[in-house]
Amino acid sequence: MKVVIVGGGMVGMTLAHLLRRRGLEPTIIERMPAGFYQPRGYMLGFQGYESLQEVGVYDEVRDAGRPIAPREGQPPIAVAVRFGALIEALQRDLPMENELTVKELITDEIGRVTGVVAEPTPEEVLRGAAGPTSAAGSLQTAVPGTVKGDRPAGEIRFEADLVVACDGVRSPIRDMAGLSAEIDPLPEAALSFYSPKQADTSFAMAYMSDGGHIGMLSWYEGSAGWRSCARVGAEAALDVTVDQIKEMWTRLLPESASAVEGVTSMDQVRYSEPALLRCPEWWKPGIVLIGDAAHFFGPETGVSSGIGLGDAHALAEAIRQNPNDADAACHMYQTWREPVVRPYEATDPGRQRILVSGQVEPRPEERWPPED
């Protein structure tokens, strides 16, 4: 089976490794430069262990991180680790078509997807990925580039028996295929930090009076934290000082005190407005969605990436069992994964929380941005 994977993040790379172990040579198309990723903290949940064990990188990633809720004689519930440790391990020795953006799907006379058309990623996008790297920088070059020097100029067509979309929550490939998505913005925004300082514990989380939450992860080389806040926009949320960020986090989550000591610049703090994602159908003839292109959960669940890695494992095995029938493989994949994924979608705290940000006024000391 000729497989084209659109999206070279952790899920796309994991799928590629798993398919190669099953005798296939998939093509990975990634719009960003080789080695690019956003530095951040990462919680690898137990749902992703089996996939990474088969790829052969689980021990390396586990040893680079700190266990969350360790259990004697059993694997931990999760591992807190630098995101780059996972990306660097997966990128190693994996061919990839970098700096290409898919612009359209190829379909046959009955509407089946039979490939993609890609073109070089616009220079302004690539320039946005370039620049110096810091603890909270936008670019980390982990692996030498693998862009092919003999690539033809202009558009390139990639034929496929199956196109796999793992290009994120706002998946352009999903939209091109006409697969519907239910995107539900969370009622609250998220504030986060990235620090080179290690905290005393690998994980801490607490709820606030309005149902919002604040938490922190820490691994051997650093820490990251997050909290919910009002959807006021980045300009208002970040119009504060570093000292105000540190004081707030330490007061509301004392376990984070040593971690936020490493926050020395507002460049290490980010504001976002996350959304939940659910897709009623994950495939149609010739194309399938996995990972964040198919489902995305709120930050309280901590399962989005682990579920995505499980998707990759299930799809690779479904393809192995149906080597000459992409539709049968996709049907098997959805049959296997729905009992796993749908309960998480139905019970996501972002949808089920008793108190929701905006319905109850937070205590003055919990409000963000702080009052003058």
Per-residue pLDDT tens digits for 187-228: 889 999 999 999 999 999 999 988 889 999 999 889 999 999
How far is 139 from 325, CA to CA, in rounded Å? Answer: 39
Q: How confident is the model at residue 357 (pLDDT cuts 50, 70, 90)?
A: low
Name the CA radius of gyration of the chain, rounded. Answer: 21
Q: What are phi and psi of 98, to 5 degrees?
A: -85, 160
Length of the chain: 372
Q: Across 249-332, where does the E strand assignment appear?
A: 269-272, 275-278, 283-284, 287-289, 295-296
Q: How confident is the model at residue 34 (pLDDT cuts 50, 70, 90)?
A: confident
Measured distance between the N- and C-terminal CA atoms of the chain, rounded to whole angstroms? 62
Tokens of 182: 């239910």
Q: Quote the pLDDT of residue 37.
A: 85
Q: Alpha helices of 178-270 — where are they, by DSSP H?
A: 234-237, 242-252, 257-260
Give ranges for CATH 3.50.50.60 in the chain: 3-184+276-347
Q: Quote the pLDDT of residue 314.
A: 98
Contacts of 110 (CB under 8 A, 6+ apart): none
What are the pLDDT digits (tens) for 106-118? 999 999 999 999 9
Q: Quote the pLDDT of residue 371.
A: 82
How far is 1 from 85, CA to CA, in rounded Å? Answer: 31
- Neighbouring-strand partners of residue 4: 27, 163
Q: Element (H or E) spanning 30, and its range?
A: strand 27-30
| More confident call, 133 vs 52 | 52
What are the pLDDT digits (tens) for 269-278? 999 998 999 9
Yes or no: domain 186-274+352-366 corresponds to CATH 3.30.9.10: yes
Give ranges for CATH 3.30.9.10 in the chain: 186-274+352-366
Tell me what the pLDDT averaged over the chain comes to: 89
Minimum mean pLDDT among 80-94, 128-142, 190-204, 322-336: which range? 128-142
7: left (phi over 0), alpha (psi -120 to 50) or beta: left
Cβ–Cβ under 8 Å, residues 290 and 11? yes
Q: Give the residue among 282, 361, 296 at the shortest CA–CA distance from 327.
A: 282
Tell me the whole-structure pTM to 2 decimals: 0.90
3-184+276-347 CATH fold: FAD/NAD(P)-binding domain (3.50.50)
Q: Quote the pLDDT of residue 142.
A: 39
Single-letter amino acid, residue 366: E
Is a pLDDT exceeding 50 seen at residue 133?
Answer: no
